[in-house]
Amino acid sequence: MVALLNESVLWWHWIILGLILLILEINTGTILLLGLGFSAIFVGLIGWMMELSFIWELLLFSLLSTVTFIAWKRWGERPIVTSSGQSNHSLDTLGTVSIEIAPHQRGKVIFDTPVLGNTLWHAISEEKISINTRVKIIDIRGQLMVVQTLINSH
């Protein structure tokens, strides 16, 4: 079987495979196929420049694919420092209280940057927070932001 593959798989087969994977990547947008496609094209170019057996080409393809996958996992994905769970939005967003918040009662906060598409949110806290006090999000419970004053958060 390996002898048959050594004779029948040529360098340009790897390039065609790489181009097919790149075309599939355009349609799926997974980024994974991008690394596989470039790896296959690279193996095809190396096979064009020097004579390699199919086993060596397959090992080179596997190695390059693994390296591109690890690189994508390490540098391609955006790390989430903290998340609120349900909404998966980054915490520590800063805002200013616009309607006073009494302990365990709703008030309103205007955030500096949009949170889930809006800057004005209902908020609760375990402490009394006056108007114009700077706060940060410490949790999100459904459509309700749990906030804390910046002074107490350090």
Note whether 114 and 100 are within 8 A (CB): no
Q: How far apart are CA 47 and CA 55, in angstroms?
A: 12
Q: Give the up-direction half-sphere exposure of residue 21: CA atoms within 13 A in the CB hemisphere.
A: 20
Q: What is the pTM of this model?
A: 0.51
What distance in Å separates the CA atoms of residue 33 and residue 52, rounded to the nearest whole number?
24
Cα–Cα distance measured from residue 63 to residue 69, given in angstroms and rounded to the nearest whole number = 10
Q: Which domains does the chain have, with CATH numbers?
A: 2-76 (no CATH), 94-153 (2.40.50.140)
Kindly report the number of other CB atoms within 10 A of residue 1's CB atom.
Answer: 6
- The label of the residue with tokens 């009394």 reads 128
- Taking the CB of residue 140, how many other CB atoms lie within 10 A of it? 22
Cα distance between residue 119 and residue 77, in whole Å? 26
154 residues of the chain, pLDDT tens digit each: 777 777 788 889 999 999 999 999 998 877 889 999 999 999 999 999 998 888 999 999 999 999 999 988 887 766 555 444 444 456 778 999 999 999 989 999 998 888 777 889 999 999 999 999 999 988 888 888 999 998 754 4
